């Protein structure tokens, strides 16, 4: 059995590649028009945001109410970098995304170090405050364009970029959760004192998971800025943080698959409901309430989609059938 | 020299003087028990040793290391493992994963593998339930798992906080047999218990805690014959 362990990974890789090829062919053949490909880009950005927030809120168990704040610092840092670095765009864009992520990390450390050394829900309050402070700060400082917004950001976000980065985010966070370090993070969620007694440096792992989440939010911010071309500080308000949190809760805290599905559905849903004009937010909320009523742990709970499991079931069935024959 | 020595320990909770200058020692290879009623300060003493509460003054020394300046997660690296009160297993992980968490600080894979075998041999019930989610185990099995998890850190000394809590008399006997067994394999034990009778049966020495101070101490057998102890803790 052990030699076949790589097969599920290859299947996933092939599926992801196939999805990418199909979507990009459809886009270049203009079957998916620019309006829809714009929505696809937002889907990928929201996947990055939801999966990274799930790391902090679902797996680490710390409520984060300012994910849009990290996104905004990443968005502004990345935009200012591509606008003023003077490097050719093909080089400056990837660096800008990295810069966006790293600036978000810096803010994550500033908030996380005092909040995560304590046991309890202090991080929720601090991130809530951070989200609002950063919005007001962006309005106040000169180089962000203030209330008028930051415009003239080159439109560099392509479908290839967001797709690859969304897949990378999911892959990295998935690998992290299934590593020794990820197990430590989950142990802290389960019981912080027992984790400490087992020798896990709780402050370190809490900070690591939280800062990782902030990093990917910053990268998502950079992608968003170069997709829309204009940054309005009002966009990154508390409501947007909650919107991302809804994706995590709806998909299931502690399920990466759930976050991905919820991010896709909740980005497409308001668009699909556009025909109902003013009723669409009503329908959106009714769907959310129904899910929470009938499946309070979220659509998937903590379940993960696994090709390996399907594969095992299939081979077992085959083996059983052979035995019977 | 004593393996663990606590000297003039004082702990305050705000203005409440919880531990009033207690001193005790645990020598290598011993089972030492701290007995006392509710609120006497047993758990607080253990928390002071493991760095979970702030110590006002006094010293806590383990194998020559000052535990007052050691971060809680580093204590296990010195060879002092804890079985916390109320078991505190990782309820959503499997038995196997719980044990892995106990060994998470160790890098010597071969030795860890050997310790799995040793733990499963000592606690065969865990082996049967290796893939089971820990939260679905019975209280006694969870206690075994908590002990197993602590042993996976390959400790020189084990701190046990109320291992008999909430268990049936039959299971209490089983847990205490396991503790004796572990001790015979060379692990020193500090046992904090409300069930004074059982604790005195297996311990070499004992200290009696009363409202934050040590009121009596000595050989466990002698203490269990003592009139005062019998009246107060052993039901006459």
Here the CATH number for the domain that contains residue A162 is 1.10.3470
pLDDT digits (tens, 9 = 90+) for A45-85: 999 999 999 999 999 999 999 999 999 999 999 999 999 98
Pairing of the two strands B188-193 and B157-161? parallel
Contacts of B52 in chain A (CB under 8 A): 193, 196
B9 in helix, strand or coil?
A: strand
- pLDDT(A315) > 90: no
- pLDDT(B144) > 90: yes
Of A1-5, B56-60, B170-174, which range is least confident? A1-5
- Angle among Cα B136, B142, B147 to the nearest 5 degrees reads 155
Mean confidence (pLDDT) of chain A: 89
> Position of tokens 């290391």?
B65
pLDDT for the residue A71: 96
pLDDT for the residue A1: 44
A203 in helix, strand or coil?
A: helix
Mean confidence (pLDDT) of chain B: 91
* Cβ–Cβ < 8 Å for A78, A99: yes
pLDDT digits (tens, 9 = 90+) for B168-215: 999 999 999 999 999 999 999 999 998 899 999 999 999 999 988 999
Radius of gyration of chain B (CA): 17
Q: Find the closest chain B residue to A196 by CA distance.
A: B73
What is the domain range of residue A72? 2-324
pLDDT for the residue A165: 96
- Phi and psi (nearest 5°) for A191? -165, 105
What mean pLDDT do residues B137-158 have? 93
What mean pLDDT do residues B106-131 have? 88
- For chain B, the residues whose C-beta falls within 8 A of a C-beta of chain A are 50, 52, 71-77, 81-82, 84, 88-93, 97, 100-102, 104-105, 149-150, 153
Q: Find all residues with CB under 8 Å of A267, minimum gap 6, and list them.
A: A39, A42, A43, A46
What's the CA gap between B75 and B47, in Å, rounded? 12
pLDDT confidence band for A323 (50 / 70 / 90): low
The first and second tokens of residue A222, run together, are 């950079």
* Cβ–Cβ < 8 Å for A121, A115: no
B90 with A194: Cβ contact below 8 A: yes
Q: Which residues pair with B7 in a beta bridge?
A: B59
% residues pLDDT > 90 (chain B): 61
- pLDDT(A307) > 80: no
pLDDT for the residue B2: 87
What mean pLDDT do residues A116-136 have? 87
A197 with B89: Cβ contact below 8 A: no
A199 with B77: Cβ contact below 8 A: yes
Instruction: From A243, A231, A248, A250, select the one nearest A299 (Cα to Cα).
Output: A250
What would the DSSP string read from start to end of A64-83? -S-HHHHHHHHHHHHHHHHH
Q: Is the ipTM of this complex over 0.90?
A: no
How many domains are there within chain A? 1
Contacts of B153 in chain A (CB under 8 A): 198-199
């Amino acid at each position: 059995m052990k030699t076949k362990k790589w097969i599920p990974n290859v299947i996933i890789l092939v599926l992801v590649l196939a999805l990418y090829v199909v979507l990009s062919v459809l886009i270049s053949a203009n079957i998916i028009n620019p309006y829809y490909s714009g929505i696809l880009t937002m889907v990928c950005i929201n996947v990055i945001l939801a999966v990274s927030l799930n790391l902090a809120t679902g797996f680490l168990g710390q409520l984060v109410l300012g994910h849009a704040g990290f996104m905004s610092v990443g968005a502004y840092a990345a935009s200012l970098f591509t606008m003023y670095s003077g490097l050719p765009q093909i080089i400056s864009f990837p660096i800008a995304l990295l810069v966006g992520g790293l600036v978000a990390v810096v803010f994550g450390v500033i908030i996380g170090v005092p909040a995560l050394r304590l046991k309890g829900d202090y991080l929720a309050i601090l991130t809530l405050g951070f989200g609002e402070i950063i919005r007001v700060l962006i309005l106040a400082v000169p180089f962000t364009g203030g209330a008028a917004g930051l415009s003239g950001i080159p439109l560099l976000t392509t479908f290839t970029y967001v797709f690859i980065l969304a897949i990378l985010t999911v892959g990295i966070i998935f690998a992290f959760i299934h590593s020794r370090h990820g197990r430590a993070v989950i142990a802290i969620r389960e019981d912080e004192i027992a984790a400490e007694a087992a020798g896990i440096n709780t402050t370190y792992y809490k900070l690591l998971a939280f800062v990782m989440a902030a990093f990917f939010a910053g990268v998502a911010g950079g992608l968003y800025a170069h997709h829309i071309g204009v940054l309005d500080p009002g966009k990154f308000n508390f409501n947007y943080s909650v919107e991302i949190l809804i994706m995590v809760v709806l998909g299931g805290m502690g399920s990466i698959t759930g976050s991905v599905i919820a991010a896709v559905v909740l980005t497409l849903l308001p668009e699909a409901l556009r025909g109902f004009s003013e009723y669409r937010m009503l329908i959106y909320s009714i769907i959310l309430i129904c899910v929470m009523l009938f499946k309070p742990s979220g659509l998937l709970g903590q379940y993960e989609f696994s090709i390996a499991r399907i594969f095992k079931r299939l081979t077992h069935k085959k083996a059983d059938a052979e035995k019977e024959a | 020299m004593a393996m663990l020595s606590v000297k003039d320990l004082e702990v305050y909770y705000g203005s409440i003087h919880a531990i009033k200058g207690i001193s005790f020692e645990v020598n290598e290879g011993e089972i030492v028990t701290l007995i006392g009623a509710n609120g006497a300060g047993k758990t607080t003493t253990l928390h002071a040793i493991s760095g979970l509460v702030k110590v006002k003054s006094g010293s806590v020394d383990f194998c020559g290391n000052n535990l007052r300046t050691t971060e809680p997660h580093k204590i296990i690296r010195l060879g002092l493992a804890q079985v916390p009160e109320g078991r505190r297993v990782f309820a959503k992980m499997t038995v196997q994963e719980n044990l892995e968490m106990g060994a998470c600080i160790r890098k010597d894979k071969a030795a860890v593998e050997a310790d799995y075998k040793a733990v499963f041999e000592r606690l065969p019930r865990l082996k049967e339930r290796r893939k089971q989610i820990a939260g679905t185990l019975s209280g006694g099995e969870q206690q075994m798992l908590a002990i197993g998890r602590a042993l996976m850190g390959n400790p020189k000394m084990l701190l046990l906080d109320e291992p008999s809590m909430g268990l049936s008399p039959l299971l209490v006997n089983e847990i205490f047999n396991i503790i004796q067994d572990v001790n015979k394999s060379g692990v020193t034990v500090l046992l904090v218990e409300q069930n004074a009778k059982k604790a005195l049966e297996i311990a070499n020495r004992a200290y009696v805690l009363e409202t934050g101070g040590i009121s009596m101490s000595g050989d466990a057998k002698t203490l269990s014959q003592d009139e005062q102890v019998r009246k107060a803790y052993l039901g006459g």
